Amino acid sequence: MTVPVEIEYHGATLVIAINRPAQRNAVNQAVSLAIAAALDTLDADPALRVGIITGRGTSFCAGMDLRAFVEGERPEMPGRGFAGITEAPPKKPVIAAVEGFALAGGCELALACDLIVAAQDAWFGLPEVMRGLVAGSGGLIRLPRRIPPAIALEYALTGARMDATTAQGWGLVNRLTPPGQALTGALALAAQIAANAPLSVAMTKRIVHESASWDADQLWDTQRALVEPVLASRDAIEGSRAFAEKRDPVWSGT
């Protein structure tokens, strides 16, 4: 039996692969439920440090399954959003490994990830306006925060596609790979992240994402309250001791 999402463990990295290549990995309710469950596993398992979301076949994700939508099925989950992630990303870092098309909800899925590794022939876009829809799963919120707002607005209003090289030029894509190598590139990036202290990594992600909404007069006090528990952790001592002893640290996550 074919499952809508395949899960693979690569050391401390959890790979979450949408497995509907014939539908260009369009997201239906079953896909959303499976991704949400996998992300819960990512956050709950202390042995896992990083997640990767990708798609089987030649495309990352073509967005919402329009046939299922016409039949009355919605891919959003209450409290979780589209694909089980757009409204409630996990605490641990997630990388999008993009081959082929990341369009509409597929682009929003990539934007919900913290980092993007894309093949050189990948494409991004929010074509909802061309279909009488609105990119309501984070595309209109996140894209203007990742690239210049006027550039994001142009793509959102026209529905035009952005090639991966242009996307990297605007800072949307972190790393480009040869075609077919996006997952390999994402695994290499994940390994770099996973080598670091898990408490530090999780808190770094949290501060980067949340600090933009903090009150200016409370900025440093808010950050201090989050940073102090990490500085008081066993791993903070272990990292400093390992540096002094010229060895690799052994993280406990505490």
| Catalytic sites, residue numbers | 108, 128
What's the gap between Cα 170 and its chain centre?
18
- For residue 248, the tally of other CB atoms under 10 A from its CB is 8
Write out the two tokens for 51.
């997640």
Are the C-beta atoms of residues 166 and 155 closer than 8 Å to each other? no
Task: Kindly list the distances between the CA atom of residue 85 and the CA atoms of 36, 88, 89, 117, 132, in Å, as whole numbers in the listed order.
Answer: 7, 5, 5, 18, 24
Any alpha helices (H) in the chain, and if so which ranges? Answer: 29-44, 66-70, 105-112, 139-146, 149-158, 164-169, 182-194, 198-210, 219-231, 234-244
